[in-house]
């Protein structure tokens, strides 16, 4: 018989959710076709659940996606997350919040992306910045930030220290594919890895570097190359393991290194883009 392990998080989560829903060990065992003794052993840490049992328990306790994923993580399993349907009617409040956030950042260029790096929203500063170098038809077709970042029209070879930076960006995508095994992520990783600016030893380079929340890049502004800092931040649900336990959004914003650089010109005049909503 296994000795109880008080360091496991799963027993605490299981006992907590039973209490929240006023479900006894006997009632829960009936719902998942188990025994009260086994539920007791799960709660004192002397027995560990299978992934299928954790899923059955979450269903029996009517847990939502976030709490079901917390239960999986507590038991030592990967969570199950789907892509956020950003256009869903019930997420109107989120779209409004993100629009206000982007608008507040003007004239600093910013975009909202999902976990696949698909661009969901842009602000006027972003449209104004790239409109001058790319042109409206090409800019209107931009739909994925990762692909745009690696393209000639986007950052391309203008990223400072590009070999290390692109290596770390690719490694973040590599790690994502190891978790998800998503064919789309795998295809994007393979395609971006062939970009002319990516060094052949990008995996080895990235292994020696810490993940980046920001990096420097140079962007053409009125015919002059200006240095910008690209900052990546995450918008996710509240709670432990929030990024893992549910779908999340990400905001990418650009800030000039020169504090005196006036970007107000980026928001002047008529600006339009399929993903600009104000």
Does the model's pTM come out above 0.75?
Answer: no
- DSSP string covering 28-62: HHHHTT--HHHHHHHHHTSS---HHHHHHHHHHTT
- With beta carbons less than 8 A apart as the criterion, state whether 90 and 107 touch: no
Which tokens sit at 26? 């006997």
Domain locations along the chain: 10-74, 89-159+210-267
Phi (first) and psi of residue 155, to 5 degrees: -75, -40
Fold of the domain spanning 89-159+210-267: Beta-Lactamase (3.30.450)
Radius of gyration of the chain (CA): 23
3-state secondary structure of 241: coil
Spell out the per-residue pLDDT of the chain, length 278, in tens: 455 555 679 999 999 999 999 999 999 999 999 999 999 999 999 999 999 999 999 999 999 888 998 899 899 888 876 677 888 898 899 999 999 999 999 999 999 998 888 999 999 999 999 888 788 898 999 999 988 888 755 555 455 567 787 888 889 889 888 877 788 888 888 988 888 778 899 999 989 887 666 777 778 788 788 889 889 888 765 555 544 545 678 999 999 999 999 999 999 999 999 999 99
3-state secondary structure of 227: strand
Fold of the domain spanning 10-74: 434 Repressor (Amino-terminal Domain) (1.10.260)
């Amino acid at each position: 018989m296994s000795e109880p392990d008080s360091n496991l998080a799963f027993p605490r989560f299981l006992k907590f959710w039973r209490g929240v829903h006023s479900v006894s060990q006997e009632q829960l065992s009936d719902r998942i076709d188990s025994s009260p003794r086994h539920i007791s052993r799960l709660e004192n840490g002397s027995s560990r659940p299978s992934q299928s049992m954790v899923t059955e328990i979450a269903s029996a306790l009517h847990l939502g996606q976030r709490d079901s994923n917390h239960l999986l993580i507590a038991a030592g399993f990967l969570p199950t997350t789907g892509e956020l349907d950003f256009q869903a009617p019930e997420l109107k409040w989120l779209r409004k919040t993100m629009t206000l956030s982007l608008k507040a950042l003007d004239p600093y260029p910013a975009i909202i992306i999902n976990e696949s790096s698909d661009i969901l929203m842009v602000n006027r500063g972003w449209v104004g910045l790239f409109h001058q170098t790319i042109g409206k038809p090409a800019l209107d077709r931009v739909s994925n930030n990762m692909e745009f970042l690696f393209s000639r029209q986007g950052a391309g070879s203008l990223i400072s220290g590009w070999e290390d930076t692109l290596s770390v960006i690719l490694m973040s995508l590599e790690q994502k594919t190891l978790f998800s095994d998503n064919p789309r992520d795998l295809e994007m990783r393979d395609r971006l890895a062939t970009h002319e600016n990516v060094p052949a030893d990008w995996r080895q380079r990235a292994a020696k570097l810490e993940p980046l929340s920001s990096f420097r890049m140079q962007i053409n502004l009125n015919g002059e190359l200006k240095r910008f800092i690209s900052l990546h931040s995450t918008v996710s649900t509240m709670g432990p393991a929030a990024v893992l336990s549910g779908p999340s959004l990400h905001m990418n914003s650009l800030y000039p290194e020169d504090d005196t650089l006036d970007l107000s010109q980026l928001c002047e005049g008529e600006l339009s883009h399929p993903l600009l909503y104000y």
